[in-house]
Amino acid sequence: MFDMGKSTGSSAQGICCNNHDEVVAQILSASENTRWVSEHMAELRQKYLHKFIAVHNGKIVASSEDQASFFRILRTKESKNLPMIAIEFITDENERWIL
C-alpha cells in the first residue's frame, strides 16, 4: 500500500518517503531480498518448509508456521523495514500455487 499523503519518513504501511532517492533505494533493497530468497530456496526448504519467512539484507528476520503470528512479529520487530523485506511462504518443490 502506498501512502499518498504527506510523509515525514518511511511508513510501516508501504513505501513512503520524502524523496525519490529513498523510494528507489527501498525498491532496490526489496528486489535484492527477493533475489536472495530465489537463490537460496533449496536451503530454505530444508530449514523453513511450510513456514512464512521474512528476509532483509540477506538474513531471515522472522519465520513462523502461523500467518497471524508471523505478521505480528514483523510489525513488532521490523516495522521500519517492511517496505524492503521479502516475504515468502516456503513450499515443497513440487507444490504450485495459483494466485
* Count of domains for the chain: 1
Name every residue whose Cβ is closer than 8 Å to that of residue 78 and which is 6 or more positions away in sequence. Answer: 54, 56, 61, 62, 85
pTM, rounded to two decimals:
0.74
Smallest CA-to-CA distance from 86 within 61, 62, 54, 58 is with 54
* 72 occurs within a structural domain: yes
2 assigned to some structural domain: no
Is 97 part of any domain? no
Range of the domain at 55: 20-89
pLDDT single digits (tens) 58-68? 999 999 999 99
Contact (CB, 8 A) for 3 and 16: yes
- 33-61 pLDDT, tens per residue? 999 999 999 999 999 999 999 999 999 99
Question: How many CB atoms sit inside 10 A of residue 20's CB?
Answer: 8
Nearest 5°: the CA angle 25, 80, 19 is 40
Residue 9, Cβ density class (10 Å: 0-12 exposed, 13-18 middle, ≥19 buried): exposed
